[in-house]
Each structure stands twice: as C-alpha cells, then as structure tokens.
Amino acid sequence: MTRAPNASTPTKLTPNLGLKHRNTFGFDAVAEFAYEINSPEQIPAVMSEITSHKQKWRVLGGGSNVILPANLPGVTLLMNIIGQEIISSNSSSTLLAVGGGVNWHELVTWTLENDLPGLENLALIPGTVGAAPIQNIGAYGVEVSDYIDSIEAFDAKEQAFVTLQNEACRFAYRDSYFKQNPHRFIVTKVVFKLPKTWKARIHYADLAKQFSENSNPSPEDMFLAVCKIRTQKLPDPKVIGNAGSFFQNPVVPNEQYKTLIKTYPGLASYPDLPGKRKLAAGWLIDQCGFKGQRMGSVGVYENQALVLVNHGGGTAQDILGLAKCIQDKVHDKFGVSLQIEPNIF
C-alpha cells in the first residue's frame, strides 16, 4: 500500500548542529545539516531536496542505539513525530497507532495506564518507537515484533509512503527488513496489536526469580519488576554514557554449545531455534576479565559486562577500539564471534 507524497515545504535546515545531547553515549558529534521532522508531511519535500543535492542522510531518534562519529556529513533527520491513538478495538485485541518520535518507555507506561498490557517486559529500554522495530528490540523473552501489526514509513527508493504488515518486516533476532535496507526507510508510525487476553511471561531467569513466590503477577507487577532489574544492572545514560547492551547474544550450533559446556560448565545460555543455542554475551565477556575494566575514557560497566560506557570525553573511535579488544579475546577463548548491536554511523 502506498500513497502519494505531500509536497510540503521542508522544515528549517540547521547547519552544524551539536548532537552531544542527542546520543546516550554522550559523544561530541556535529551534524553538518539537520532537519527537525515533526510530521510525516514534511518528509517528501525534505527528501526531494536531499536527493537533488545528492547528500548523504540518516535518521536519528533518541540516539540510544547509535555510535556517532565527531562529524556527520550531509543531512541528519531528527525524528520528532509524536502522538498515540487507539484506532480500533474488538473482543480479541486493540490496535494502537504511535508516532515514530514517541519515547519508548513513556509509551510502555502509557499503555499500562490505559489498561493495554503486553509491552511491560520491554520497559525502560531507551530510544524511540520508530527505532524499536528497526532493531526489533527485545528483553526478558519478548520482542517488539510480537506486538506489531504494521508499520508506516517513507520509502526513499520509491519516494512514497508505504505500509508494511508484520510479515513483510522480516523480523528476526535484533534484525528487520528496515535494518537490512539502511538509508531507505523512515519509520513514521508503528501500529501495535495488543491482545485482550494477557499472560505474564516470566520464564527468563531474572523474572522467574523475582516471581518465585508469585506465579500470577499483574502487568503492573511485571512492569515494576523489569524496571527494578534493569535499574540494578544497567547504568542511567544521564549519569554515565552508554547504549545499553553493546553486543548481541551470539547464537551457535548445538554441537558447538555441547563442546563449550564440557569445558565451561557454568556457561550461561538459552534455547533458540531448533539445533541452535543462544549464549549470554555478558557471561563470555565477564569470563575474559573485562567487567569493570577501563581503557582511557571508556570502559566496561562494573555491574554488567555487556554494557560499554563513556566515562567522559570518549569518542566513537575509543569505544570501537575497546569493542575490538573484547571481540578478539572472546573469540580467542571461546571461538565465538560477538556482533556489535548499536548502529555505527
């Protein structure tokens, strides 16, 4: 489904815009040019102008899953489209349309306040709604794709707005059709399908422990538990720069897992697809001695080895250098390759 673009006048262009407060690592970064995108109608004219000048471009939401260099050439589109509304409801589910610039955690809070549970396992994940499906964010046994009905986006290749149903988004672990086609789509709206029948999903170890004496928690109980666990494990970006989990949990064949578990009986892992096993990247990094270690202005968080931090004054080059050291050591010790989760601009 497509609709013709609206020939709206582009929003104001800002040259040399500082982005230090628009990325959770807190890196000093400057956009050569920036556009504030406050409504979908602005996008066609903006993209037409970018195309005519053959400029590089990228979209930046909350900056919670990106590694920004000191200078971003071309145009940076700042996603600020807000708003949420219930567009339909029946006996089995509710469809909720949400703007791409809405803060993710604020949306999760809003859904609970309006008796629309389902997203509580994803509480406190930083970033915006528009970025969530690109990365297919997930936590504690839930992925955002479990609750997405469709996505509206501007297709830069077709120069038209498109609507992609869930199956067309090709969601996978920390992956999607949008991520596979960078610099093509600008997500403007996400339509969530929230089921009326709700059941707590507490099979992940941290939640199972939290509810060991309560097998039937409420959505609010789940929300509070997830917030408590994440707060204990993950640093607040307002206090110390970070992008949350820096590496994806690697998935290995069962044969490799069986070999590893013989040598490392404490290896933390989870079932994945048939014939495969998902390993806990944080455990692997911790076993290599990186937890709490510092390399200049950057380091590994003392309470969670999966999180890399900027102590102040660090750069993208610094954090990627540390990441390379970790990847090399984990591969040498376990024969497992770690993939960086944040997008490298």
The fold adopted by the segment(s) 84-195 is: 3.30.465
Q: What is the pLDDT of residues 140-153, one digit of tens each?
A: 989 999 999 999 99
Long-range contacts of 301-307 (CB under 8 A, 24+ apart): 301/234, 301/235, 301/240, 301/242, 303/232, 303/233, 303/234, 303/235, 304/233, 304/234, 306/245, 306/246, 306/247, 306/281, 306/282, 307/234, 307/235, 307/242, 307/244, 307/245, 307/246
230 is catalytic: no
Q: Answer with the residue of higher pLDDT: 11 or 275.
A: 275
CATH for the stretch 2-79: 3.30.43.10
341 is catalytic: yes
CATH for the stretch 241-344: 3.90.78.10
117-135 burial, b at 16+ Cβ within 10 Å, e below that, comes to bbbbbbbbbbbbbbbbbbb
In the predicted structure, residue 253 carries a pLDDT above the cut 70: yes
**CA 213 – CA 215 distance, rounded (Å):** 6
Residue 11, pLDDT score: 58
Residue 9, pLDDT score: 46
**CA 56 – CA 103 distance, rounded (Å):** 26
174 is catalytic: yes
In the predicted structure, residue 270 carries a pLDDT above the cut 80: yes
Residue of 22, 58, 174, 230 marked active site? 174
**CA 182 – CA 175 distance, rounded (Å):** 12
Region 186-197: mean pLDDT is 97
- pLDDT tier, 3 (very low <50, low <70, confident <90, very high otherwise): very low
Residue 205, pLDDT score: 83
pTM value > 0.85: yes
**CA 308 – CA 299 distance, rounded (Å):** 6
Residue of 64, 150, 176, 245 marked active site? 245
The domain spans of the chain are 2-79, 84-195, 241-344
- pLDDT tier, 271 (very low <50, low <70, confident <90, very high otherwise): confident
